[in-house]
Structure 1
Amino acid sequence: METKLEVSTICLPNDPQNGESQKDDNDQLFGAEYEIGSSYKPSEMKGDMQHKEVPCAVCFQKKKTVLLMIPGRKTCYKGWTSEYSGFLMTDYKTFSSKEYACVDKDAEPLDNKNGNENGALFYGIRTKCGSLKCPPYKNATDVRCVVCTK
């Protein structure tokens, strides 16, 4: 029987209330880095953000009750309001877990730190025809996304 682990991206506060220091070797909470240098950067994304830290963002809209991320689109459907559009990202294709995030096309780094710590990694992804039907999709293209509210 194969064990599968679910991984999720979490947004951490800037003012943590830390627990006690431990001696065991079970460190599993990492920061996130963009891996979107020239070869993995979606064509419409600005700047080279290779190894830059990913800031946390939370979408909140007063009087709107539904937030929906739509992969494969850059605009919302009629009746929905676009909060931002960007590119679908996840870790590298050979890594075991996949959680997708819609990263704003105008994404910015947390700071100018440029270390390669390889915690959680955000790569721009491309389509692969086969089980993904082409058309309507096209092979080896950036995957757009949009975050919509209603």
Structure 2
Amino acid sequence: MITLDGPTFASAVHGSEYQFAFRNIQRNDDVPCAVCRVTGANTVLMVPGKVDCHKDWKKQYSGLLTANHEGHPGTSEYACVDEHPEGIEGTRTHDDEGKLFYPARSICGSLPCPPYVNKGFLSCVVCTR
């Protein structure tokens, strides 16, 4: 543990929970930490709204685009949750909040519809090359 001299303001690190049910997961399942390592690839690209990679890119996985709830304060980053998601076993019985993952919807306007569908959930794909 690191100690600091004097009082200080600080941020907090929380675990994460899914806030929706999708295939193998239920609402309030904790999100397991995952780091993907791909040998022989220099670039990783997450493409929202797609399920396949562009030519000359290799698909690692596809799934559901998620982010913080649009009405919640704070910044958010989009994350592509694998189409076969996992939760941490035994965690859905308690609701610890933390960083919450919500499915992302497309909103027509500056986003062209078609090809998107207003308020439709968005897919995503993670590609490497």
Among 29, 32, 35, which residue is 2:16 paired with? 32
Letter in 1 for 2:88: L
- Cα deviation code 1:56-104 (max 9, x no counterpart): 1111111111111111101111111110001110111101322110110
Give runs of aligned pairs for residues 25-104 of structure 1, distance below 5 A: 26=10, 28-37=12-21, 45-96=22-73, 97-104=75-82
Is 2:115 the partner of 1:136? yes
Superposition misfits of 4+ residues, deviation over 2 angstroms? 23-27
TM-score for both structures, normalised by structure 2: 0.86
Q: List gaps (5 residues or longer) in structure 2.
A: none
User: Judging changes above 3 Å, is the alpha-carbon distance between structure 1 residues 48 and 57 closer, same or farther for their aligned structure 2 residues?
Assistant: closer
Report the identity percentage.
Answer: 37
RMSD between aligned residues: 2.1
How far apart are 1:111 and its partner, in Å? 2.5
Aligned length: 126
Q: List gaps (5 residues or longer) in structure 1.
A: 1-17, 38-44
Alpha-carbon distance between aligned partners in 2 of 1:112 and 1:106, rounded to the nearest angstrom: 18
